[in-house]
Amino acid sequence: MIDDLDYQLLAAVQQGLPIVARPYLQIAEQLGLDEQQVIDRLVRLKNQALIKRWCVVVKHRPLGYRANAMIVIAVPMALIDSIAAKIIQHSFVNLCYQRPQQGERWPYNLYCMIHGKDRDTVLQQWAELQQACELSQYRSEILFSRRCFKQRGAIYQPKP
């Protein structure tokens, strides 16, 4: 279980950790805690998997990842897990999810993301994926992003 202090702590760290020698001390001072309490709580929250990962969040475009493709495929439900298992063998696939179909005009149930340096490379990777996973027989579409308006993590408010 997590308590109000945990929520306050998560709210304090969510915008980013201070870039100073003792970042957890700085957060502790903001909250009126001591440094070790902050560390213990954050370690516990990580062990409880409330914090999935603790790391830097990169922006895609400055790193040269200009092609961001969402690939959607309509596969038979009976095969979806085995097809996904093949797809995720490919290291250029960054995400793979099953999502609900939305009727005949949007029959897709398998979603993959490829973040690539340029569009040609991503198209080539998609062709490779289609061949390796025998996807050509299914309806699919590749949606490249044209613009990214907002990219940030989820924001949580501390509990009142």
Partner 1 sequence: MDQLDKRIINYLQQGFPICVSPYRQVAETLGIEQAELLTRLEKLLADGVLSRFGPIFHAEQMGGALTLAAIKVPEQRFDEVTDIVNAFPEVAHNYARNHALNMWFVLATEHREQVASVIANIEQQTGLRVYNMPKISEYYVGLQLEA
Site for partner 1 in 85-104 (CB under 8 A): 85, 87-88, 93-100, 102
**CA dihedral sign of residues 118, 122, 125, 127:** negative
Adjacent-strand bridge partners of 113:
70, 95
Question: Binding string, 25-64, against partner 1, x = CB under 8 A?
Answer: x---------x---x--xx--x-xxxxxxxxxxxxx-xx-
- Which residue's structure tokens are 């493709």? 69
- CA pair distance 11, 159, nearest whole angstrom: 9
Q: Check binding of 84 to partner 1 (CB under 8 A).
A: yes
Backbone angles phi, psi at 84, to 5 degrees: -60, -40
Q: Check binding of 23 to partner 1 (CB under 8 A).
A: yes
Of 43 and 132, CB closest to partner 1: 43
In the complex, minimum distance from the CB of residue 90 to partner 1, in angstroms, rounded to a whole number: 10
Count of chain residues binding partner 1 (CB under 8 A): 71
The helix or strand, by DSSP H or E, that contains position 86, with its residue range, turns out to be helix 80-87
Q: Which of residues 117-136 bind partner 1 (CB under 8 A)?
A: none
In the complex, minimum distance from the CB of residue 43 to partner 1, in angstroms, rounded to a whole number: 5
- Which residue's structure tokens are 């027989």? 137
- Which residue's structure tokens are 């040269």? 64
Q: Check binding of 81 to partner 1 (CB under 8 A).
A: yes
